[in-house]
Structure 1
């Protein structure tokens, strides 16, 4: 029996920061303390007023301190300022430098975003109670070790997909997840707004999309093989003002909201609302309802000019509500059987001189790629858009493993890596039978921590096309906030470190150090009310006995 080697903590362990910063050093002479108290003020340079407001509403609320604007050089204060090179070197727009000693904290960022990420680090330094909404004890001062931190993200796309189509997440739930993303320095919310099971986006020109398409008659519990149903309608949708509020709330936290409107598959909810969108020459689309099962619906959009115009009108309103440069159009899992049987679809294939139905799908997606490009936006699609050739300038979300991302990057397309085998957070977290509704592959906290977004087979000149990574949280088996929390955390914290920090190769990553820092981070999640999966396994009320999942899908993925 071998004797275990004692774990040597990294320099990050004492501060227990998640994600780990690039460089952290102790204060003057290797020690010292910093504090804030009732006399602490905020000196906000131009461009940082939003960060000051955020500090007052979070740290100010948790401490009970007013944190007023600074009016004197001698006042204890938090200084917020924008400087192009906060670390004395070109660090990129989201870099920051934090220096804390005595009664003074200085957060300098290369942009307002960098200052905001530095403020998130300050909140972590103050301890778990800084994540509460009101003081739990009266303190004369809040102290923490004096430190200097230089930090910047590894990737510019650090994303989370929330599927609000399968199970609707009300507005307040989305705002809550934006706060959780910001706390972990994630900066892209991919909002999956439409699918077979529901349409959540208001479209003034087509009110039946939400009037009829946002509600389904019932919902299946568990995997699609489950015999259990909830025999009541499920649904909901956002108002236009809800969307504006979500986008503004995200922007204040330097998060971009990327909307997804699926075409030409995953569209039964839209067809149920407007039957003329479907393949009416082979299917009685007027009899369709919003789908109440999981899996892939055979009902897809008809490749007609009328369908194209309909979705152009939808996207016009999408562009009005979402300022994001990127718009996701899906493009995945489009069954071709209806097109094979449809005289209309076959005539369109012949008219365009296409080889087959795959070419028809590429034409469909390519139309919207050009349409978006003409309006200064960029199309994003799942890696199936590579079949038949992706639109010029398209960004590819590589979900079916790494191969799609490798092929897209080598072809000169930007890539977001989100392979289902590694960062689908709806997948099970352990092999035990007590996991609630276990589906997919086992992806433990350590597995996610060892995820590497840049495929090792990519040559350096192609690796630059990897914009970053995204964790996807599909909602077939996450019917409420607690279930979403359980699947997301703590694995989203590990993913955030992968996306932000400059980590070594997967096999060389110090997971023991990460676990040690997580022991403090769990207390932050507790203060935020996150119903995460404990390291020891699900709590009794987190289990779902009798609700079927599905067997493991083949061998474990290769890291």
Structure 2
């Protein structure tokens, strides 16, 4: 039935006829499923034109939502057998994922926002689907710092994640090129840090510039709306505030945060190009207090029930300024640290303790392993598998997101027409054959692999349509990898031809959702970027 991601079990109910929804079809929401019913009525009602009134008992023309504690928390059972249609889950999340499958069974037009066929045309096959996810963390990192995505685009991506049974949205909110979240006690972070005068067009080696000022940020109420919208769809948010590197936007707003004894930080502006920036935070008590103030507001905006993890970056922090700074060197001696690497670890350990005292967990890119980690911290393994393996064997939880496999900013084909081609060639099949648990990992260490995440860095994605092109259809393959228990652990044994056949139906779903994906035959003329320099490389990291 062309379901994506593939369920654990899907079997026909042979004695039952195809089922038809009608204007009389009622929606029965049993205790614990009220939020799913609200979502299902709003989305499926809009697509079908059917009212789905409340109701229980009586005839069998109803859809029943129920919690069955005997199922896994995110597991579900969907039954269409000629009697009442039932969607049962181990919790509300399981019922919600079952409702997503129910929507797929009705056909691609069930994903539209208004009816395109008559109300009597909605039929369901007689099936029993039983399913549960392989991983608890099925994530996407969306970089809104390099190119800002307005709030409505973020809400749209929440829906796209939900349609693919992905349950974590990691928002990369700050970087050298922009600060994207309002912090009321530090207004210059958005007054100054959210805007840059121009933007490099293409790879940093390009001679082209877009001279249009670029920027934007989310207000407190925008963030609250995003969090609530995602929670209704059983998606957790992971906010990222990057430190001590990737911080020029913050230093441009508040120059005292930088290494003022070696750099004229007052002359810095929000960075307008790409790469690894040399301007890093100064290791002072003032910097610590400043970021504690930032994080106090972040924790208030992203409550613990929906955002147990807070990402603090910790990656690509050049040490040159610390080596040259008398103040930084004095700090190293005062704290008895092992050089500049120890100074970076000092930053991370401080905020690990600070977050733990407030009931949150720190997660960071795998550089945070350098210098050692507190037991509760988790690692996003991006520089291949090695960091994740080391972290898991040391007892740390890990999210696998190696750039060689699931960086969706990397080009999808080696041909000359790819728009601003960056990084490795990673095709739809390459993503489908990604395996989050490295071979040879001990069973104890493998239990620390929380799941997987696809990362979407937006240096060369200046619009929603460019993000769509890079993300889809590969996100469908990634979703199956992260969800489906049917996939063999051996990537070579996976049935990619079967997945491609199911994708024929899934492209129609993406069309219904308005996704401007990369067609199987290559980019359409308006999706290309002729003359814009990328970095088409093979075998070496792109480091945009």
Normalised by the length of structure 2, the TM-score is 0.97
**Deviation, structure 1 residue 103:** 5.6
Aligned positions of 1:114-263 closer than 5 A: 114-263=94-243
- SS of residue matched to 2:422: coil
Residues 38 and 141, structure 1, Cα contact 8 Å, conserved in 2: no
Unmatched tracts of structure 1, length 5 or more? 1-14, 87-91
Partner of 1:477: 460
> Distance between the aligned counterparts of 2:502 and 2:539, measured in 1?
33
In the alignment, what sits opposite 1:266?
246
Query: SS of the residue aligned with 1:492?
Result: helix
Partner of 1:517: 502
8 A Cα contact 2:2 2:506, kept in partner: yes
Preserved contact between residue 41 and residue 75 of structure 1 (Cα < 8 Å)? no
**Is contact 1:271–1:277 with CA below 8 Å preserved after alignment?**
yes
Give the counterpart of 1:488 among 455, 460, 471: 471
Write the distance in 2 (CA, Å) between the matches of 1:72 and 1:397.
Answer: 49
Give yes or no for contact 2:12–2:126 (8 Å, CA) kept in 1.
yes
Match of 2:255 in 1: 275
Q: Deviations over 1:296-343 (max 9, x none)?
A: 110000000000000000000010000211000000000000000001
Conservation of the 8 A alpha-carbon contact between 1:39 and 1:75: no
Secondary structure of the corresponding residue to residue 544 of structure 1:
coil
Equivalent in the alignment of 1:11: none
SS in 1 for 2:296: helix
Alignment partner, residue 6 of structure 1: none
2:88 maps to which residue? Answer: 108
**Contact (CA 8 Å) 2:23, 2:119: kept in 1 or not?**
no
Asked if the contact 1:417–1:469 (Cα under 8 Å) also holds between the matched residues in 2, the reply is: yes
2:83 aligned with 1:98: no
1:19 equivalent in alignment to 2:5: yes
**2:420 alignment partner, SS class:** coil
Matched with 2:28 is 43
State whether structure 2 residue 534 is matched by structure 1 residue 549. Answer: yes
User: What's the offset of the Cα at 1:34?
Assistant: 2.0
Q: Which residue of structure 1 aligns with residue 383 of structure 2?
A: 400
Q: For residue 429 of structure 1, what is the aligned residue in structure 2?
A: 412
Shift of 1:555: 6.2
Pair 1:301 & 2:290 matched: no
Gaps of 5+ in 2: none
Matches within 5 A, 1:352-371: 352-371=335-354
Task: Compute the displacement of 1:551 (Å).
Answer: 3.0
* Aligned pairs for 1:526-537 within 5 A: 526-537=511-522
Looking at structure 1, the residues matched to 204 and 51 of structure 2 have their Cα atoms a distance apart, in angstroms, of 52
Following superposition, the deviation at residue 412 of structure 1 comes to 0.3
**1:18-97 matched pairs, under 5 angstroms:** 18-29=4-15, 32-86=17-71, 92-97=72-77
Q: How many residues get paired?
A: 537
| Alignment deviations for residues 100-123 of structure 1 (CA, whole Å, 9 cap, x no partner) | 122631000000000000000000
Partner-residue secondary structure (3-state), 1:37: coil
How high is the TM-score relative to the length of structure 1?
Answer: 0.95
1:343 equivalenced with 2:343 (yes/no): no
Q: Is the 8 A contact 2:425 2:538 kept in 1?
A: no
Match of 1:5?
Answer: none
Alpha-carbon RMSD: 1.1
Counterpart of 1:101 in 2: which secondary structure?
coil
Contact 1:34–1:104 (8 Å) recurs in 2: no
Retained in 2: the 8 A contact 1:266–1:300? yes
In the aligned structure 2, how far is the partner of 1:318 from the partner of 1:364?
18
Which runs of 4 or more aligned residues in structure 1 lie more than 4 Å from their structure 2 counterparts after TM superposition? none
Tell me the distance in 2 between the aligned counterparts of 1:181 and 1:278. Answer: 37
Contact between 2:63 and 2:85, CA under 8 Å: does it hold in 1? yes
CA distance in 2, matches of 1:140, 1:553: 53
Q: Distance in 2 between matches of 1:282 and 1:93?
A: 54
Alignment correspondent of 1:8: none
Deviation at 1:144, TM superposition (A): 2.4
Residue number in structure 1 paired with 2:294: 314
- Report the Cα distance in structure 1 between the residues aligned to 2:120 and 2:465, rounded to whole angstroms: 35
Q: How many Å apart are 1:32 and its aligned residue? A: 2.9
